[in-house]
Amino acid sequence: MPTFITGLDHVQIEAPAGHAAQARDFYGTFLGLPELQRPEGIRSSEGLWFALPDGRQLHTGTTDPFHPRDKGHPCLRCSDLDAFLAHAAAHGHPTETDTRCHPVRRAFLHDPFGNRLEIVENAHISTPLP
């Protein structure tokens, strides 16, 4: 069977109407992701795009009614989980560490809208099926 999929381009996080300022503060300032200019054809709709260091993107988009996602979540990589956990604590963002995928080090936190995010210390945890 041919492979048409070449990779992951972006992930979109749902957010409530009027979310831009909080999203910029969390994803831009706290997580340090640069904001990208959205294409002209969609600028009239509410949403933001942020760049990830590997070239992929994280988008926010408004849904109404809004319901935060606690199970489905993006997983972001970091170079030093301990430093990230200290950064999160210093900025008032509670985290929860999880050791079930040992030796992979990971933690979970929520964005200002209640969406769950996973942070994993630079590691791949899966092996393709035979």
CATH code for the domain of 17: 3.10.180.10
| Among 12, 116, 6, 121, residue whose Cα is nearest residue 72 | 116
- 5 within some domain: no
Say whether 77 sits in a helix, a strand or coil: strand
Q: What is the pLDDT of residues 23-32, one digit of tens each?
A: 999 999 999 9
Q: How far apart are CA 13 and CA 113, in angstroms?
A: 10
Q: What is the pLDDT of residues 53-67, one digit of tens each?
A: 999 999 999 999 999
Provide the number of structural domains found in the chain. Answer: 1
- Spatial contact of 16 and 113, defined as CB atoms under 8 Å apart: yes
Is the pLDDT at 107 greater than 80? The verdict is yes
Domain that holds residue 64: 10-121
Residue 14 lies in a domain: yes
Does 130 reside within a domain?
A: no
Residue 96 · residue 80 · CB < 8 Å: no
Residue at 20 is within a domain? yes
Which contiguous run of DSSP H or E holds residue 108?
strand 106-110
